[in-house]
Amino acid sequence: MDRRDFLKTGATLTAAAATGGFWYTYDHGVFSTAKGEAFSAWEHWQTGNGQPTLPLVRAAILAASPHNTQPWRFELTDSSVALHMDRSRNVGNLDPYLREEYLGMGCALENLMLAASACGYSASAMTAHGSLTGPVPEQNLVPVATVLVKPDLREESHLYRAIPRRHTNRGPYDPLRPLPSDFLDALSQLPGTDSSVKIFLLTDSSRRDKVAGISSIANDTLYSDADVESASERWLRLQWKQVQQLRDGLTIDAFGLSSLTAAFLKTLPVPVLRPLVARGQKKGYKERMLSAPLMGFITVRDRYDVTQAINAGRVWQRAHLLATHHGIAARPSNESVELIDYERFKGRPGHAMDRLTAIIGDAAWQPTFAFLMGYPTLACTASPRREAEQMLIS
């Protein structure tokens, strides 16, 4: 082969490698953050397609959901929306009483109620009752709430307008930029007249450091259990095709990484990527928590009461929407409260509850949801969502 043929062959191979590399990265979603059919629900969330109450469901499915399990199902008439929970869509021993799934259902209910007002309905909600530690229902689909609607004046709130912009930001926050006092006041008042829910806000470094320490220990304890680890991994979507097909779970783009790091991880094969993700989520977790100038707990009188779990979820959804409206990032940080369930489920002493109660300073209130808020240092993206029509009970 002479020099000219060698150069031609080299150019051809280089072009082929570049083309193959492009299609490889394209196929792995490197250039497609929050794009594709898996994310289309965020775009047409206000359309009804001739069904009067369908826009309420489109708003509801954009709510916060633990591990993005999306356990909701909906039954529609022209004057009502019934919410059901699919108990099969759970995270196993990480949430043995389905307490967090009921919180997620409360988030969906809150979005639905906000959308009802914006769509010209007055709405009233009747929620399920019972205990999360009582007999387990035989059926997977269980009723959570029924919302009755009737025509009224349209009332579009700032929380409603924040729905398509509300995303969980797991990146580090700006520790040197405190949150405004008027925002903190508004946040603390979100439970309104609901006497079963209260928010505790922690801004002092001493208590935040204690919570971060407890959460770090809880994280290690929970995920050292093989059953918890495998149930959690069930909801990891590490392949772009998986994201587009299943439209649920936690994606690489949701891990709070820089865009460059996320792009690099997407190019790795799953056997290499999975242990990296596991280590990355644990490494530096305490420091990432402490970057948030605000830690908070949503508490209830009885954390295993079904109605109170739903109401606590509604409060979290309002809190996250309020933060979004103010340009403030937010995320759950629930390891410490998940450890309470885990200790009870395993028949162990309730040390986690005791530690959190000491930090909150009021034994009358039981923590059921922990969160972080602060000004973001990294942008976050939408999570995949199944279409509203898929969620309807015919």
pLDDT digits (tens, 9 = 90+) for 134-146: 888 888 999 999 9
Residues 6+ apart with CB under 8 A from 170: 254, 255, 256, 288, 331, 380
How do residues 291-349 score in pLDDT, each as one tens digit? 999 999 999 999 999 999 999 999 999 999 999 999 999 999 999 999 999 999 999 99
Q: Residue 296 contacts by C-beta under 8 Å, 6 or more apart in sequence? A: 187, 199, 200, 201, 202, 319, 370, 371, 372, 373
What's the confidence (pLDDT) of residue 7?
40
Per the CB < 8 A criterion, the answer to whether 182 and 382 are in contact is no
Q: Flag whether pLDDT at 196 surpasses 80.
A: yes
Instruction: Identify the band that residue 50 occupies on the pLDDT scale cut at 50, 70 and 90.
Output: confident
Give the C-alpha separation, 330 to 295, whole Å. Answer: 10
CB-based contact 258:280 (threshold 8 Å) = no
Taking only the tens place, the pLDDT of each residue in 59-88 is 999 999 999 999 999 999 989 999 999 999
Residue 11, pLDDT score: 47
Asked whether the predicted pLDDT for residue 5 surpasses 50, the reply is no
Q: What is the pLDDT of residue 373?
A: 98
User: Does the pLDDT of residue 34 top 70, yes or no?
Assistant: yes
**Residue environment code for 351-379, b if the CB has 16+ CB neighbours within 10 A, otherwise e:** ebbebbbebbeeeebbbbbbbbbbbbbbe
What pLDDT does residue 21 have? 56
Average pLDDT value for residue range 256-278:
87
**Which CATH number does 32-394 carry?**
3.40.109.10
pTM of the model: 0.92
For the segment 355-368, the average pLDDT, to the nearest whole number, is 97
pLDDT digits (tens, 9 = 90+) for 77-125: 989 999 999 999 999 999 999 999 999 999 999 999 999 999 999 999 9
